[in-house]
Every structure is written in C-alpha cells, then in structure tokens.
A and B are shown apart, each in its own frame.
Chain A
Amino acid sequence: EAGVTQSPTHLIKTRGQQATLRCSPISGHTSVYWYQQALGLGLQFLLWYDEGEERNRGNFPPRFSGRQFPNYSSELNVNALELEDSALYLCASSLVYGDRGNGYTFGSGTRLTVV
C-alpha cells in the first residue's frame, strides 16, 4: 500500500512569488492535514481538509490556502511568499471516523526555500 506522497521534494521560489505543494493521501483516507516545520521551530498546524471542505485552520495568514480534490488529494498554496515561509511542509492523512486504530500517517515533506 502506497503511503502519503508529497511533491515536489524541494522547491525554490523568489520572495513575492506563489508556491503550490501537492499531497496524495493513503488510499481510503478522506482527511488531509498540512503542517509547517520551520527551522528551529516545532510543527505548526496549517489546514485540515475533509470530504473536499476546509474543516479547520491554524493561526496563519490568508495567503496560506489550499483545496482538496474529489480523489482526496490536496494542494497547499502559499501566495506572496516571504523569506520566513522557508520551511519543511508536511502533509498527513487519516480516516476521519476510523482513525482510532490508525492515527495519522505523514509524508516525507516538501522543502520550500524562499530567496
């Protein structure tokens, strides 16, 4: 069974540009979560999508947005990039109502560097 896959692995953008990160959840998982891990900081919750809807978001500005597609894959978009957006972005998936047994499964991340 394929795990959570994220693309691209690395992304270099210029300040002010837009970045798009992609995530494919484990087959059968309907929920996708996005986290930011900046250097020296902990994992910060960004967004939660389930069944195509945004269910919750963390304390991030509106230029962080995303969507979930009918096949449950997800995109994270970061507009007007700032230098401090440089971080490892991690995606996780879970079953919404069945995750008692499985917990959350994370992908390998996308390393975003803003120059």
Chain B
Amino acid sequence: KQEVTQIPAALSVPEGENLVLNCSFTDSAIYNLQWFRQDPGKGLTSLLLIQSSQREQTSGRLNASLDKSSGRSTLYIAASQPGDSATYLCAVRISSGSARQLTFGSGTQLTVLP
C-alpha cells in the first residue's frame, strides 16, 4: 500500500526566503506525482505535475524535483511571499491500472511572514 509522508508538517519563514518542502513515498512504481496548494477551507489548486520519467518541473518561482528510486520529491519555492501562505500537498498516482486515484500526503502548512 502506497504511503506518502510530508515533512515538515508546518513551516514559518520570513518573506523573501527560499524554502524546500519534502515529500516521500513508499512505492516507487508511480505513474506521476502532483503538487497542490490548498487555502483554508478551499479546494486544491494544481501547481506542478511530474511524470515518472521526468526529473523536475518548473513554473515561475516553483521547482519540483522527483527521484523515483529513492521515493522522494521536493518542492522549492524561491523568494517566498505572504501570498504563498497555504497548505502544500503532495500526491502520487501509482502505476496499477485499476487504481488511478491519487494518494495524498498530510501536507505542509506554510506561513510566510511579512
């Protein structure tokens, strides 16, 4: 059974700092990995999608990496801003054909202080 862990559970940083969020998964036979952002009481916004054959994806100030063999992904946020404050969720989809749903980590709650 796939398990996804995110460390740290919470993180508070001053504005302008670069930061890294970590995600690990137990089964390396993944189809892809997706990073999401969730604001309090809201739905999920997709940030980056990394296919199993890729090593990294970039969008603006965000960069996500994937190391399938070690079961790890990182989300790098450059020059953080107060608007980046949210919970960041990592989710993996396994390769098994009948199980296309995502398995989520418990998230990292990020607070960027002005």
Contact = CB atoms under 8 A, between A and B. Distances in A.
A63 interface: no
A108 B42 CA distance: 6
Contacts of B110: none
Given A42-B105, A42-B107, A100-B51, A105 B100 contact: no
Contact of B46 (A100, A103, A108): A103
Nearest to B105: A42
B101 A56 contact: yes
Given A42-B106, A90-B44, A108-B43, A48 B36 contact: no
A45 B89 CA distance: 14
A76 interface: no
B63 interface: no
Interface in B29-49: 32, 34, 36, 41-46, 49
Nearest to A107: B43
B100 A96 contact: yes
Nearest to A91: B43
B25 interface: no
A84 to B, nearest CB: 18
Interface in A77-115: 88, 90, 92, 94, 96, 100-109, 111
Interface of A: 6, 31, 33, 42-43, 45, 48, 55-56, 58, 88, 90, 92, 94, 96, 100-109, 111
Interface of B: 32, 34, 36, 41-46, 49, 51, 89, 91, 98-107
28 contacts: A33-B101, A33-B102, A42-B104, A43-B89, A43-B91, A43-B102, A45-B103, A48-B101, A56-B98, A56-B100, A56-B101, A90-B43, A92-B44, A100-B51, A101-B49, A102-B49, A103-B46, A103-B49, A104-B34, A104-B91, A105-B46, A106-B36, A106-B43, A106-B44, A106-B45, A107-B43, A109-B42, A111-B41
